[in-house]
Amino acid sequence: MPLHDFARRSSRSAARAAAADAPLEGSVSARPSDEDSVTAWMSAGNCRNYPPAVFFPSDGVGVDRARKICGDCPVAEQCLEYALDQRIEHGVWGGASERERRRILKRRRVAAES
Ligand code: SF4
């Protein structure tokens, strides 16, 4: 995300998918994304102006801070869907914490099974 700092992500598939666009050291603006890339939206994220650590908080206060930044992000929807699709386990993506993303995925699974 920092977008997020790919080195912190636990999803190997996500890292591979984004490898071509991966920021050098946690900064989206470190390298412009390819327009056709699945991660092109990252260059428009509000988080590009913040240190990656902001989006990997260790407590609820930190999560709230990250959520606030995500709150008016123009690519929040893409960000959240990307994190859900790639099963990214850590950090705040699209304004959703790890726990919130797990809940979203569970809701979607339940809905798909019914
Ligand atoms: S929603 Fe949050 S984490 Fe995602 S791109 Fe926007 S500011 Fe960054």
Binding site membership of 76 for ligand 1 (Cβ less than 6 Å): yes
C-alpha to C-alpha distance for 6 and 94, rounded to whole angstroms: 15
Radius of gyration of the chain (CA): 13
Look at ligand 1, atom 8, and give the residue with the nearest C-alpha.
Answer: 47
Pocket test for ligand 1, best of 27, 33, 48, 73 (most atoms within 8 A of CB): 73
- For the beta carbon of residue 19, count every other beta carbon within 10 angstroms: 10
Return the residue whose CA atom lies nearest to atom 3 of ligand 1: 93
pLDDT under 50 in the chain at which residues? 1, 6-33
Q: Measured between alpha carbons, how far apart are the two ends of the chain, in Å?
A: 35
Residue 58 half-sphere exposure, CB side, CA atoms within 13 Å? 1
Is residue 47 in contact with ligand 1, taking CB distance under 6 Å?
yes
Give dist(CA 67, CA 29) in Å, integer. Answer: 20
Cα 80 to Cα 15, 42, 85, 114, distances in angstroms: 16, 11, 8, 24
Domain residues of the chain, as ranges? Answer: 3-22+40-113
C-alpha of residue 9 to centroid of ligand 1, in Å: 15
Quick check: pTM over 0.85? no
